[in-house]
Amino acid sequence: MHGSHHLDSNPHRRLNLLTGEWVLVSPHRTKRPWQGKIEDLPQDNRPAYDPKCYLCPTNTRADGETNPDYQESFVFKNDFSALLEDTPDESYNQEDLLIAQTERGICKVISFSPKHHLTLPELNVTEISKVVDLWQSEFKSLADQPWIKYIQIFENKGEIMGCSNPHPHGQIWAQSELPVEIIKESERQKAYLDKHKTSLLKDYLNLELEKQERIIFENDAFVVVVPFWAVWPYETMIISKRHVQNLLAFEEREKLLLAEALKVVTTKYDNLFETSFPYSAGMHQAPVNHGDHPEWHWHMHFYPPLLRSATVKKFMVGYEMLANPQRDITPEYAATRLKELSTEHYKSKTLAHESPIS
């Protein structure tokens, strides 16, 4: 099976280079009729300011603190943190069968903008670059605490992804141990670097740029690609062209280019089904205060659940839970769909066409 042309019609598995795990692709199944669950569309007419929202400027949060009248993006400690800073260090082991240990951490919330109704793709590149600035400064201040070993920056968008507050925001969880996905990705990238003396993602990116089958967007510093091993229907990755360990390495120009890549991919997502497209997204970067990690190459994953329309979701169930992930539409099909889409947000088109009210 030399070329990948047999892959678009025959069931096959693909290897995820970053985790060492496989995904089953069943392209012949896309013809089956859909009679499954249709999700309700969330209302998409939020006000610019909501007096009851704990992320809006000047409002009172759950812990009684008042938000400043912030003008750009704003960060604060999560009032309902999953990890706590002052957890004592304890471990538990019963006969090597019941094993546990305490974990310390800091959880923060980043409000992307003071506007309650604007999601990432609806901000302009300068406004998104302010979010990137904040990610950098937060990463730096958290990494300055020697007990912190890993910093996870992420966003859950849309109520279908369990997002509990509609005001567009992301999160940062910093923790005292390395999480599961990071351990997997560290091992795979390190094995590749040891063997080939180059970054796994750099080589992968060069191959993808050469083939142009799964590339959605590229600028001078970043590439948006549907990974060859994508699990979610319209999964994408943003990969930096430079082999850097973490986002502190990005210079001013690169931060603007990252903001551009973020705007393009999230806008294309929204345009796909003309809906505010839900996803979980987050960046993966080298552990901190944990020795050198030359193998690490910064990247960002987008895992969106929508499959056939704004209201039909892909579920990871049955075989996926018990065996390994499975998908029907091929990553190449998804990439073609996303690539064709406009980078102008569908809402801004409708706004432009509405006649002003006299």
| Euclidean distance between CA atoms 134 and 140, whole angstroms | 10
pLDDT of residue 43: 65
pLDDT at 266 over 80: yes
Q: Which are the contacts of 48, defined by CB distance < 8 A and separation ≥ 6?
A: 115, 116, 117, 118
C-alpha angle 52/125/239, rounded to 5°? 105
Q: Each residue of 211-228: pLDDT tens digit?
A: 999 999 999 999 999 999
pLDDT digits (tens, 9 = 90+) for 284-338: 999 999 999 999 999 999 999 999 888 889 989 999 999 999 999 999 999 999 9
**Model confidence band, residue 28 (pLDDT cutoffs 50, 70, 90):** confident
Identify the pLDDT of residue 351.
Answer: 63
Chain centroid to CA 101: how far?
A: 28
User: Tokens 């080298």, residue?
Assistant: 286
Out of 6, 12, 28, 169, the active site residue is 169
CA–CA dist 32, 229 (Å, integer):
22
- Tens-place pLDDT, residues 70-90: 999 899 888 788 999 999 999
More confident residue, 318 or 28: 318
Confidence of residue 32 (pLDDT cuts 50, 70, 90): low
Is 167 an active-site residue?
no
Model-level pTM?
0.93
